[in-house]
Amino acid sequence: MRRELALHTDKYQINMMYAHWVNGTHKRKAVFEAYFRKLPFGNGFAVFAGLERIAQYIRDLRFTEDDIRYLSEQEENYAPAFLEELLQFHFKGNIHAMKEGALVFPDEPLVRVEGTIMEAQLVETAILNFMNYQTLIATKASRIKQVAPNDILLEFGTRRAQEADAAVWGARAAYIGGFHATSNMLAGRMFGIPTKGTHAHSWVQSFSSEQEAFDAYAKVLPDGVTLLVDTFDTLRSGVPHAINTAKKLEAAGKKMNAIRLDSGDLAYLSIQARKMLDEAGLDYVKIVASNDLDENTIMDLKLQGAAIDTWGVGTQLITAADQPSLGGVYKLVEIESATGEMIPTIKISSNPEKVSTPGKKDVFRIVGTNGKAMADYISSPDEAAPRNGARIKLFNPLHPYLRKNVDKYEALPMLEPIFVNGFQVYSLPPLEEIRRYHEQQLDLFWPEYLRKLNPEVYRVSLSEQVWNRKQQLIAEHMQLDLE
Ligand SMILES: Nc1ncnc2c1ncn2[C@@H]1O[C@H](COP(=O)(O)OP(=O)(O)OP(=O)(O)O)[C@@H](O)[C@H]1O
Ligand SMILES: O=P(O)(O)OC[C@H]1O[C@H](OP(=O)(O)OP(=O)(O)O)[C@H](O)[C@@H]1O
Ligand SMILES: O=C(O)c1cccnc1
């Protein structure tokens, strides 16, 4: 949550900045793009998140006197004039990015940074750090939401998160992905996320009887209280005691909200508890479940007919336990030459999926006349943008045999200008709007792309100009290698 984040970067960025400065190349213009190559969790899409944090970071990006003192103590012996320049530093470039909540796909730029090589290099680490984590958690949340679209989802992960920032920004990402509330009060205050809480086993253990514990809690928090019923024996003591408390609340004109199950066979226990509550005339009392849940256990529990209305999900979501990192990268795509021309650059790899696509690029979502997305289309800002009536060829560079010409479509530009010449031109939308945008984005896609297991692959196409430029640069490099 620290706001002075200029040193939140890898040392090699500072060293490259320094080497450019000594070399006299530090003012050269550069374009970098951040993207990932592989979708997480075997999902068919990812949910972009992290922009608010990125924008905050860029706005506040300054080296403090303390930062400079620390840098001056490094073994690199940075020249004092370089450190003096860092003290004056602030970001003066341009940033384009996807909107938070957007469905995003491999190999398309999610964040595009244009500036001097010095400033664009500095921000790589933090941008990837924010984008990779928050996009991962928003994607995991959206995946969980897919299996329980009509239930209430509570984010309970703080105690298991990889430290405080992850808990707070993870709670926000989960909300973007479709969760309804968080248990983290700081996230609630910072972002306006609704907060919810039940109670722990310790509350029950701190009384001489479970009944006394329930009654006391319900008395203090009579509106919408949720009681945890598994401290001793769920069906023989917890549920009957909760029913007694609910009846006492009814006598006082109040209504208990729910019981929470946190261990044992959640399908069996919820079905039995539902019966007991209904028989006691408490059909309005809901059932919350928690205990190491994720999209697979929730789906399985639903298949078993579990009578669960609300899911409390912690560890598996906030740590993205089955894939703890999104492998987003930040690659140089254009650099200014000594004569002031912008030159597309490429990173060659023996693995074709790792060969970067040179040149600055835009992303359009091509939506057919049926209102559904057909493919994303990556073109160069210096070619005509796709527009209805102008035929474009959709083909994926890794699967060039899958080609399709389309001429009736809507082309939605996906990259928004966020910073222009260092000034923030994008007003960050309220979180509710981001959440709604995510829902609208889901509506753009056929269910085949959204299913959790073996989804259809949504294609990201390159324009012919971008494709030809890539082939040309690959050929030039091969030629150089041969010489
Ligand atoms: N009917 C069910 N079908 C599939 N998975 C279930 C079912 N009921 C519970 N689970 C899941 O099985 C796992 C049970 O874990 P574990 O055996 O450690 O819990 P427990 O012993 O019941 O409770 P705890 O150790 O937290 O007191 C949890 O991930 C839980 O969500
Ligand atoms: O299981 P998660 O998805 O991470 O959800 C959060 C968990 O945190 C709490 O218990 P805690 O794990 O602290 O203790 P317990 O498992 O012994 O109840 C709560 O009762 C949930 O079980
Ligand atoms: O409110 C709850 O029930 C809660 C909050 C955090 C972690 N586990 C449960």
Residue where the block lists tokens 């949550």? 1
- The number of beta carbons lying within 10 Å of the beta carbon of residue 229 is 28
Quote the CA–CA distance of 303 and 306 in Å, as a whole number: 7
Q: HEC string of 66-104?
A: HHHHHHHCCCCCCCHHHHHHHHHCCCCCEEEECCCCCEE
> Is 433 inside any structural domain?
yes
Q: Is 440 in the pocket of ligand 1 (CB under 6 A)?
A: no
pLDDT of residue 396: 75
Residues 97 and 160 in one domain: no
Ligand 1 closest atom vs CA 268:
1
Nearest to 34 by CA among 325, 329, 326: 329
Mutate to test the pocket of ligand 2, among 184, 291, 310 (most ligand atoms within 8 A of CB): 291
Mutate to test the pocket of ligand 3, among 182, 183, 185 (most ligand atoms within 8 A of CB): 183
pLDDT of residue 403: 81
- Report how far ligand 1's centroid is from the alpha carbon of 301 (Å): 11
Residues 315 and 187 in one domain: yes
- Report how far ligand 3's centroid is from the alpha carbon of 314 (Å): 8
- Report how far ligand 2's centroid is from the alpha carbon of 199 (Å): 11
Q: What is the mean pLDDT of residues 133-162?
A: 98
- Report how far ligand 1's centroid is from the alpha carbon of 291 (Å): 6
Residues 114 and 178 in one domain: no
Q: Among all ligands shown, which has an atom nearest to the Cα of 318?
A: 2
> Is 2 inside any structural domain?
no
Quote the CA–CA distance of 320 and 272 in Å, as a whole number: 32
Do 195 and 188 form a contact (C-beta atoms < 8 A)? yes
Q: Among all ligands shown, which has an atom nearest to the Cα of 261?
A: 2
221-236 pLDDT, tens digit each: 988 899 999 999 999 9
pLDDT of residue 483: 60
Mean pLDDT of the chain: 96
Residue spans of beta strands (DSSP E) within 89-224 = 94-97, 103-104, 111-116, 152-155, 181-182
2: pLDDT strictly greater than 60:
no
Q: Is 293 in the pocket of ligand 1 (CB under 6 A)?
A: yes
Domain boundary among 261, 292, 319: 319
pLDDT of residue 404: 87
Q: What is the mean pLDDT of residues 230-258?
A: 98
Ligand 1 closest atom vs CA 291:
31
312: pLDDT strictly greater than 70:
yes
Residues 95 and 207 in one domain: no
> Is 5 inside any structural domain?
no
Residues 392 and 450 in one domain: yes
pLDDT of residue 305: 98
Residues 182 and 165 in one domain: yes
> Is 6 inside any structural domain?
no
397: pLDDT strictly greater than 90:
no
1: pLDDT strictly greater than 60:
no
pLDDT of residue 399: 73
Biggest CA-to-CA distance, the chain: 91
Residues 16 and 116 in one domain: yes
Ligand 1 closest atom vs CA 265:
8
- Structure tokens given for 202: 């310790």
- Report how far ligand 3's centroid is from the alpha carbon of 376 (Å): 40
> Is 143 inside any structural domain?
no
Q: Is 156 in the pocket of ligand 2 (CB under 6 A)?
A: yes
Quote the CA–CA distance of 74 and 179 in Å, as a whole number: 45
Residues 360 and 294 in one domain: no
The CATH number that applies at residue 247 is: 3.20.20.70
Residues 80 and 99 in one domain: yes
> Is 4 inside any structural domain?
no
Q: Is 312 in the pocket of ligand 2 (CB under 6 A)?
A: yes
Q: Is 315 in the pocket of ligand 2 (CB under 6 A)?
A: yes
Domain boundary among 291, 319, 347: 319
Do 63 and 89 form a contact (C-beta atoms < 8 A)? yes
pLDDT of residue 206: 98
> Is 34 inside any structural domain?
yes
> How many folded domains does the chain comprise?
2
Q: Give 395's pLDDT tier (boundaries 50, 70, 90).
A: confident
pTM of the model: 0.97
Ligand 2 closest atom vs CA 317:
3
Domain boundary among 298, 319, 340: 319
The CATH number that applies at residue 471 is: 3.20.140.10
Q: What is the mean pLDDT of residues 200-227?
A: 96
Name the residue at shortest CA distance from atom 8 of ligand 3: 156
- Report how far ligand 3's centroid is from the alpha carbon of 169 (Å): 18
pLDDT of residue 330: 98
Do 377 and 386 form a contact (C-beta atoms < 8 A)? yes
Question: Which contiguous run of DSSP H or E holds residue 306?
Answer: none
Residues 171 and 276 in one domain: yes
Q: Among all ligands shown, which has an atom nearest to the Cα of 306?
A: 1
- Report how far ligand 3's centroid is from the alpha carbon of 198 (Å): 6
Residues 98 and 226 in one domain: no
pLDDT of residue 350: 87
> Is 371 inside any structural domain?
yes
Ligand 1 closest atom vs CA 292:
29
ipTM above threshold 0.85: yes
pLDDT of residue 352: 85
147: pLDDT strictly greater than 60:
yes
Ligand 2 closest atom vs CA 315:
4
88-98 pLDDT, tens digit each: 999 999 999 99
Q: Is 290 in the pocket of ligand 2 (CB under 6 A)?
A: yes
* Domain of residue 306, residue span: 148-319
* Ligand 3 shell residues, CB under 6 Å: 156, 183, 197-198, 260, 290, 312, 314
Name the residue at shortest CA distance from atom 26 of ligand 1: 263
Residues 260 and 286 in one domain: yes
112: pLDDT strictly greater than 60:
yes
344-381 pLDDT, tens digit each: 999 998 888 899 999 999 999 999 999 999 999 999 99
pLDDT of residue 96: 98
